[in-house]
Structure formats: C-alpha cells, structure tokens
Amino acid sequence: MNLERYLFLGEEVSAARRNGRPLVALESTIISHGMPYPENVKTALAVEDIVRARGAVPATIAILGGKIVAGLSPAEIDELGKTGQSAAKVSRRDIPAALAGKKPGATTVAGTMIAAQLAGIEVFATGGIGGAHRGAQHTFDISADLSELARTSVAVVCAGAKAILDIGLTLEILETLGVPVISYRADDFPAFYTRSSGFKTGCRLDSPIEIARLLRCKWDAGLAGGVVIANPVPAEFEADPAMIEKAISLALGEADKLGVTGKRITPYLLEKIAHATGGKSLETNIALIKANASLAAEIACGLGA
Ligand code: PSU
Ligand code: MN
C-alpha cells in the first residue's frame, strides 16, 4: 500500500518533474478557509505567477475526487475558492476521509507537506504555520503542523506563526521536535501580520542560497523532517501591532463566548480579525504570501543549482 496511488500531478507539475525543474508547493486551506472569495482565487493565481516569474513551477495542492492533486488548474482553484469553508480542512488525520469520501478537501500546512513530499517537492510557501494556541497548556490545542514538521522533509516558507497563537510556546515545541527555525534577513521570529514577535530564532540567514545549503546538509545528513523558514512581512505592508492586538483580543473573546474550538478556531479568528481591521489584515496577508512565494521559488532554484 502506498499513498502514491492516490497522487495526481497537474500537467505543468508533471512536465517540471520530467525535466528536473524546481518546484514550489502551495497550500489550499488559505484559499478555502483563509481568505474570502474572490480575493482568495485572485491571490492564489497571482502567487503561482510569482513562483513562475522567479523561475520555478508552482504546485497548488488539494484533495479532489478521491485524489491528492499536486498542481490544480486555474478552474480547480476557482472552484475551491467558491466552495470556501464548505470544503473540508484536511490535515494528516483527515486525509483518509477526504480520499474515501471523494469530496473537495483543502490541505493545511501538514496536509500539504505530506502531499509535497509524495510529489517530490522540497519547498513549500504558505502564509503562516499553525502552532500552539493561547491556553494550549490547558486545551492541548496544538496544530498538527508542528508534528508534521518533525517528520516530513519539506521546507516551509512562512511569515511566522500568527499572533493569535502563543508564539513562545510554539517555538519551544518546534525546538523539542528538532525542527530548525530560520529567520530570513532578521534576528527575530516574525508574528505574521507584524515583522517581529520579540522572540529570537538563533538562526539568521541572509540569502536563499545559504538556506538551500542548510536544507541540503540536513537532508543529506539523514536528518529527516521539515524546516521553518520565517520571512517577515515586507515593512511597507506590516500592520500596526496595536491594531492587530486589539483585533485579536476581540476575536478571541468572541470565539470563547461562542465556544468555537478545534479546527474551526483558526478560520474563525482570521475572519474576525479581517473584519475588525477593516480589511487591513487581509491586505497584509496577501502581501506576505506573495513575498513567501518569491523566496520559496528562489530557494527551490538554489536547491536545484
Ligand atoms: N495561516 C493563515 N491562513 C490559514 C492557515 C494558516 O494565514 O488559513 C491555515 C493553514 O492551512 C494552517 C492551518 O496549516 O490554518 C492550521 O490550522 P490548525 O491550527 O487547525 O492546525
Ligand atoms: Mn487545532
């Protein structure tokens, strides 16, 4: 039994694999659950074009018709964008149900990492990774993204973990799990909407080629598992920290009152924050995912060089 029999490669991805071209995986939960329609589809397509412009080939990943698809077509991206939160949010544990049920499934960071590894893709760009939620000491709400990073050998380029999380706790867990965390052209770990969380990563690298070298060393040395590459949002798109913190408090309060927990909490908070900031957080979200796609493509090219 092998998951590979469930894998379907889009045309562009399939050709890239044949020709040994650099590939960048892209997730789909950010499309279905992370942003409203039509900004989600517009952003997903723009992000693919950025990857192409940097000389790599994009592979947007989702589960469709009982297959893990690496390389969605524009029509499939549009369909998933319209389906929105009615699509299943697919992390590791949800893959069997999504495959057997043949219903549309948007892959999270964890789900996308599994698919990327299967498709032979080493670099993946997203917005923010999941992590330990505030109060995780009591609720145990720690994203499966963290345990996936411990076991699956894919580099994840992100703008950090969202400030809705407990960033200190998230970094502690990544350390325990043996996951390298790199800050790109910064000393601190970024906080998604803002450039700094106040926590240091202890590993700063200033060029895509140095990052590619670190990845190759890790995997050549037999140290399986992922790497977090934290790319602070470009300064001109950084959100005002006070505005974000206020929006987060508001959103967390409402989530608590309504009893929103589990896999619904991240999409719920993102939506509330976008609303509370009058769309400013969405603008930041779009800018950072584009910057991450660009860096991921450069790293993928570096790995192939
Ligand atoms: N970050 C975003 N938008 C998102 C997510 C993260 O900016 O939509 C999604 C990612 O797919 C991530 C998931 O893997 O949320 C984490 O969810 P959970 O905490 O339930 O594991
Ligand atoms: Mn969770």
| Interval 244-263: pLDDT, tens | 999 999 999 999 999 999 99
- pLDDT class of 4 with cuts at 50, 70, 90: confident
Strand 105-107 versus strand 57-64 pairing type: antiparallel
Q: Shortest CA distance to 173 belongs to which of 213, 118, 131, 134?
A: 131
Which ligand is nearest to the Cα of residue 147, counting in written order? 1
**The dihedral sign for the CA sequence 106, 108, 114, 116:** positive
Q: Answer whether 89's CB lies under 8 Å from 106's CB.
A: yes
Checking if the pLDDT of 128 tops 60, the result is: yes
Q: Is 60 exposed, middle or buried (0-12, 13-18, 19+ CB in 10 A)?
A: buried
Mean pLDDT calculated for residue range 110-125: 98
**Active site (annotated) includes residue 148:** no
Mean pLDDT calculated for residue range 47-54: 98
Phi/psi for 294 (5° steps) reads -65, -45
pLDDT of 163: 84
Question: Which 3 state secondary structure label does DSSP give 276?
Answer: helix
Euclidean distance between CA atoms 189 and 199, whole angstroms: 6
pLDDT of 297: 98
Checking if the pLDDT of 123 tops 70, the result is: yes
**The dihedral sign for the CA sequence 87, 123, 115, 166:** negative
Q: What percent of the chain has pLDDT over 70?
A: 99
Mean pLDDT calculated for residue range 220-243: 97
**Catalytic: which of 89, 162, 263, 290?**
162
- pLDDT class of 305 with cuts at 50, 70, 90: confident
Kindly list the protein residues that place their beta carbon closer than 5 angstroms to ligand 2, a single-atom ion: 141
Question: Which 3 state secondary structure label does DSSP give 201?
Answer: coil
Checking if the pLDDT of 28 tops 90, the result is: yes
**Active site (annotated) includes residue 162:** yes
pLDDT of 132: 97
Query: Who's near 260: CB < 8 A, 6+ residues apart?
Result: 268
CB atoms under 10 Å from CB of 176, counted, come to 10
Which ligand is nearest to the Cα of residue 108, counting in written order? 1
- Measured in whole angstroms, how far is the alpha carbon of residue 191 from the centre of its chain? 14
Angle 103-107-108 from CA coordinates, rounded to 5°: 145
Q: Answer whether 153's CB lies under 8 Å from 122's CB.
A: yes
* CATH (residue range 3-303): 3.40.1790.10
| Interval 52-71: pLDDT, tens | 999 999 999 999 999 999 99
Query: Who's near 1: CB < 8 A, 6+ residues apart?
Result: none
Distance 116 CA to ligand 1 centre (A): 17
Q: Shortest CA distance to 132 belongs to which of 123, 122, 143, 121?
A: 143
Give the closest residue (by CA) to ligand 1 atom 10: 108
CB atoms under 10 Å from CB of 21, counted, come to 16
Report the nearest atom of ligand 1 relative to the CA of 33: 8
Checking if the pLDDT of 1 tops 90, the result is: no
The first and second tokens of residue 51, run together, are 């990857």
CB atoms under 10 Å from CB of 97, counted, come to 13
Checking if the pLDDT of 32 tops 80, the result is: yes
pLDDT of 7: 97
- pLDDT class of 2 with cuts at 50, 70, 90: low
Q: Tell me the domain boundaries of the chain.
A: 3-303
Checking if the pLDDT of 3 tops 90, the result is: no
